[in-house]
């Protein structure tokens, strides 16, 4: 059996003492200082079309604030991060913009490496030991890991919470695998409901969690209140903090929802089929806000890697596959089905369809690899003779009315 090792990151909340907060602040500040200095030098060379030479933090050594107190590995990592940002930019300018200067207001972080066990976790005392810190930082170890620590990234969110993301080298053991109950499942993502799922046992809809809806309403209110406050005033700072806290709450709550749902789907089914929703194309349209809020692309990423972890098959169908427009019963393609139409009646066989359920059934069929369903070709045949099959009388000609048939 192959026993490759894998890197896994575990993120924990940490509770530094006042002295540790001060140490973190100094390290963040120093990293930010070095980042901005190096970036400035690179940007200027870039503007003059000069070759960008290897800039190192050592160059600014004398200018460092608190240079003796700060972890030098953290500064080395700043250099690596900056180089990577530039490399990405030159490889793909559209996706990766030029790196930006860092501000004190942004999220703060630094990364340090473990050299000869300089980073340790005491699982009994709930303490994290970091280079340059004599005393351990209180850490909430909500889960245990096992393996060699490679590095730690300490971060402070802009609502004032501290986290440590620990990168661990572990043996690449498969996670505990549950036997799937269903052979396949089709997942249709929507705006009205988060998802509609069909598997061997039938179809069900997954609502957008209520706490997220409520949270977003509160977010809107806080945003409004923040924008009304006088800039730089004490009340404005308070409002900013409340807003940041709410942002963090929503993002955590959404991630939690997406993780749990994707895990449940992966546990239950052997093959998972989703649409390629062309997130980037949709983001440019008016749907943008709801799409980003509903976290579709994150959800697909989670499904994909969880499928890999648990030995399931993840299929993303071509975005031109007309999953909502095909009648799952007879394969007729309803060419002009508008986006707002939630229920439609198949003009060929008379079946009434809930738009999302029908789409998820079609995706489920793809997962089963049912040979008799070759949706696209079959649709073409039906397009040519749409009147060959009996119709239900209450259907209108286009078959796209939102009335019960
Ligand atoms: Zn039909």
pLDDT single digits (tens) 138-150: 999 988 888 899 9
How many whole angstroms from 192 Cα to the centroid of ligand 1?
24
Average pLDDT over residues 123-149: 92
Q: Would residue 275 show up in a list of annotated catalytic residues for this protein? A: yes
Residue from 106, 124, 140, 275 carrying the catalytic annotation = 275
The pLDDT score that the predictor gives to residue 389 is 34
Most confident stretch, 160-169, 274-283, 366-375 = 160-169
Q: Tens digits of per-residue pLDDT, 88-110? A: 888 888 777 888 999 888 889 99
The torsion of the CA quartet 47, 53, 36, 82, rounded to 10 degrees, works out to: 110
State in Å: Cα 351 to ligand 1 middle.
6
Contact 334, 346 (CB under 8 A): yes
Predicted local distance difference test score (pLDDT) of residue 164: 96
CA–centroid distance, residue 273 to ligand 1 (Å): 22
Active-site pick, 71, 268, 356, 382 = 356
Catalytic position from the list 71, 188, 268, 382 = 188
Closest Cα to residue 39, out of 24, 66, 9, 60?
60
Of the candidates 337, 334, 333, 189, which has an alpha carbon nearest to the alpha carbon of residue 273? 189
* Segment 351-378, tens digit of pLDDT: 999 999 999 999 999 999 864 444 443 3
Please state the pTM of the whole predicted model.
Answer: 0.64
Q: Identify the pLDDT of residue 310.
A: 87
What is the average pLDDT score of the chain? 82
d(CA 140, CA 50): 48
- What pLDDT shows up at residue 53? 66
Q: Note if 356 is an active site residue.
A: yes
How much is the pLDDT for 273? 94
Q: Ligand 1 centroid vs 195 CA: distance in angstroms?
A: 23
Least confident range of 50-64, 172-186, 304-318, 360-374 = 50-64
276 is catalytic: no
Q: Give the torsion sign (CA, 274, 275, 281, 284).
A: negative
Q: Find the 248 Cα to ligand 1 centroid distance in Å.
A: 46
pLDDT at residue 165, rounded to an integer: 96
Better-scored residue on pLDDT, 316 or 46:
316
């Amino acid at each position: 059996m192959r026993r490759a090792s894998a890197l896994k990151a575990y993120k924990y909340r940490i509770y530094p003492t006042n002295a540790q907060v001060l140490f973190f602040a100094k390290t963040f500040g120093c990293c930010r200082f070095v980042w901005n200095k190096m970036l400035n030098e690179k940007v200027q060379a870039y503007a003059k079309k000069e070759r960008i030479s290897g800039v190192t933090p050592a160059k600014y050594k004398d200018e460092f604030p608190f240079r003796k107190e700060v972890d030098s590995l953290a500064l080395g990592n700043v250099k690596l991060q900056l180089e990577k940002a530039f490399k990405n930019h030159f490889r793909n300018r559209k996706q990766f913009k030029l790196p930006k200067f860092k501000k004190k207001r942004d999220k703060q972080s630094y990364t340090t490496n473990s050299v000869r066990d300089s980073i340790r976790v005491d699982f009994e005392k709930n303490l994290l030991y970091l280079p340059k810190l004599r005393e351990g930082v209180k850490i909430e170890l909500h889960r245990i890991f096992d393996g060699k620590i490679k590095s730690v990234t300490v971060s402070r969110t802009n609502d004032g919470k501290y986290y440590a993301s620990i990168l661990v080298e572990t043996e690449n053991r498969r996670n505990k695998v549950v036997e799937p109950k269903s052979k396949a499942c089709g997942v249709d993502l929507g705006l009205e409901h988060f998802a509609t799922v069909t598997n061997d046992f039938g179809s069900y809809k997954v609502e957008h969690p209520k706490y997220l809806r409520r949270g977003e309403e509160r977010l809107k209110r806080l945003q409004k209140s923040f924008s009304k406050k006088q800039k730089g005033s004490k009340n404005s700072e308070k409002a900013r903090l409340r807003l940041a806290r709410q942002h963090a709450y929503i993002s955590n709550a959404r991630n939690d929802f997406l993780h749990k749902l994707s895990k449940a789907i992966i546990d239950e089914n052997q093959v998972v089929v989703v649409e390629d929703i062309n997130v980037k194309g949709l983001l440019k349209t008016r749907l943008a806000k709801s799409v980003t809020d509903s976290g579709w692309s994150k959800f697909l990423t989670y499904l994909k890697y969880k499928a890999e972890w648990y030995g399931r098959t993840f299929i993303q169908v071509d975005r031109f596959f007309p999953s909502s427009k095909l009648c799952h019963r007879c394969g007729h393609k309803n060419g002009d089905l508008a986006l707002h139409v939630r229920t439609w009646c198949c003009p060929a066989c008379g079946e009434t369809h809930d738009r999302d359920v029908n789409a998820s059934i079609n995706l489920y069929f793809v997962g089963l690899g049912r040979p008799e369903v070759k949706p696209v070709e079959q649709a073409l045949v039906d397009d040519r003779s749409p009147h060959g099959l009996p119709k239900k009388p209450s259907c209108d000609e286009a078959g796209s009315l939102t009335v019960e048939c």
